[in-house]
């Protein structure tokens, strides 16, 4: 299932804001692992019981950092399916290291995992809420405390050493976790602002497109309707002339079609044909409209060509007309049969639209057919 666009924007914004922080934390954790932990492991190699366990623990933490490096290079966050197994690897590495730690070495230089595991865990959990970081730090500190109590003779020096080490082990990663939490809040606000900006831009684009279409409709009326109205107003055209009446009926049907083009309906072609048929119906012409099949939402130029000849026939029909629309995924046919006599019908201009007409006496049969050459949009 696709993410909510707002959530996707928030994730992208958060990833952008935290990218440098991730690089810094990754560099800190990697430097600590290679420049501090590795020398301590080498120096205490003879004292670990057994020593190879420390190498396994080191390799596990290095593997987690390697995955983080690959994700940073690709600009991705930790997938949810990977995150908790990676946290489990970090905790397991700490437990293994503690299990091989010599007696009395808790929170000492040889206890290298005490300070390193928190940074590696922070790398994995950076995108999670602050409470998750607190839970992980508390778990790690609890495991380290249990190890100290079980493997060290607890005295004042040991407690002070563990407490002093805990300040850095917990405090510094916690500061980074708080910073990441602040970045999440900033990312949320920035994403909300970006979403609102995109919505405003989309609304403005829709308004501009609607205005352009409105201007185009007015331009269409200027080309055909205005000369007719001017002729009637000046007296140059006689309203009683059958040819003028026929032209007025055709222009009325075109105007109704233009008004219907802005309606949001499931089937625009049928909707526009019904509006064209209403002009004939108002004159007392009996109109039958039948539709069969399902077809895609056709572009405006195609719909205009499919309805132009039919509306001319409907507007000039004397007493009856029958309109049939048959369609499929790549073919739409509009057929009109009416008692209108011979007509000079406009030829289609849109690609893939063809017109055929056949008349006998006062009957005229017209078919306008659209055949898809490519998938319609």
DSSP collapsed to 3 states, 177-222 = HHHHHHHHHHHHHHHHHHHHHHHHHHHHHHHHHHHHHHHHHHHHHH
Domains of the chain, start order: 5-198 (no CATH), 238-371 (3.30.565.10)
pLDDT given at position 4? 65
For the chain, 377 residues long, give each residue's pLDDT as a single digit of tens: 445 666 766 666 666 777 788 888 899 999 999 998 888 888 888 888 888 998 999 999 999 999 999 988 888 888 888 989 999 999 999 999 888 887 767 767 778 888 889 999 998 988 788 889 899 999 989 988 888 888 777 778 878 888 888 888 888 888 888 888 887 777 777 777 777 887 788 888 877 877 777 777 677 667 777 777 788 888 888 888 878 888 888 888 888 888 788 788 888 999 999 988 888 888 889 999 999 999 988 988 899 899 999 999 998 999 999 999 999 989 999 999 999 888 888 888 888 999 999 988 899 999 999 998 754 44
Burial of 201 (C-beta count, 10 Å sphere; 0-12/13-18/19+): exposed
Contact (Cβ atoms closer than 8 angstroms) between residue 165 and residue 110: no
Residue partners of 141: CB distance under 8 A and separation at least 6? 166, 169, 170
Whole-model pTM?
0.51
pLDDT given at position 250? 83
C-alpha–C-alpha distance, residues 233 and 236, integer Å = 8
Pinpoint the alpha helices (H) of the chain.
Answer: 5-31, 38-43, 52-74, 80-99, 113-125, 130-151, 156-234, 242-260, 268-282, 300-316
- Tally the residues of the chain: 377
Written as six digits, the tokens of 340 are 């209108």
Q: Decide: helix, strand or coil at residue 349.
A: coil
pLDDT given at position 58? 92
Contact (Cβ atoms closer than 8 angstroms) between residue 99 and residue 151: no
């Amino acid at each position: 299932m696709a993410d909510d666009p707002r959530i996707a924007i928030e994730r992208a914004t958060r990833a952008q804001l935290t990218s440098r922080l991730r690089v810094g934390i990754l560099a800190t954790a990697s430097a600590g692992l290679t420049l501090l932990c590795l020398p301590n492991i080498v120096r205490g190699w003879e004292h670990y019981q057994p020593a190879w366990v420390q190498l396994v623990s080191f390799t596990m933490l290095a593997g987690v950092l390697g995955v983080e490096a690959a994700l940073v290079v690709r600009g991705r966050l930790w997938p949810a399916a990977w995150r908790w197994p990676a946290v489990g690897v970090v905790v397991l590495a700490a437990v293994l290291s503690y299990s091989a730690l010599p007696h009395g070495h808790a929170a000492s230089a040889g206890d290298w995992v005490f300070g390193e595991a928190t940074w590696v865990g922070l790398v994995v959990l950076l995108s999670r809420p602050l409470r998750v970081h607190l839970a992980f730090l508390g778990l790690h500190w609890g495991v380290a405390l249990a190890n100290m109590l079980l493997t060290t003779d607890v005295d004042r020096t040991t407690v002070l050493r563990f407490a002093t080490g805990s300040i850095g082990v917990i405090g510094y990663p916690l500061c980074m976790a708080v910073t990441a939490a602040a970045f999440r809040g900033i990312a949320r606000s920035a994403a909300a602002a970006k979403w609102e900006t995109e919505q405003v831009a989309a609304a403005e684009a829709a308004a501009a497109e609607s205005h352009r279409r409105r201007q185009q409709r007015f331009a269409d009326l200027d080309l055909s309707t205005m000369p007719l109205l001017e002729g009637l107003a000046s007296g140059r055209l006689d309203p009683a002339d059958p040819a003028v009446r026929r032209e007025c009926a055709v222009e009325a049907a075109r105007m109704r079609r233009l008004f219907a083009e802005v309606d949001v309906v499931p089937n625009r072609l049928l909707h526009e044909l019904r509006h064209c048929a209403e002009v004939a119906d108002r004159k007392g012409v009996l109109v039958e409209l039948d539709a069969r099949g399902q077809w895609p939402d056709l572009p405006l130029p195609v719909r205009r060509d499919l309805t132009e000849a039919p509306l001319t026939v409907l507007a000039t029909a004397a007493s009856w007309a029958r309109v049939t629309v048959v369609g499929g995924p790549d073919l739409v046919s509009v057929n009109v049969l009416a008692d209108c006599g011979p007509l000079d019908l406009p030829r289609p201009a849109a690609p893939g639209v063809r017109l055929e007409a056949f008349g006998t006496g006062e009957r005229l049969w017209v078919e306008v057919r659209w055949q898809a050459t490519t998938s319609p949009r």
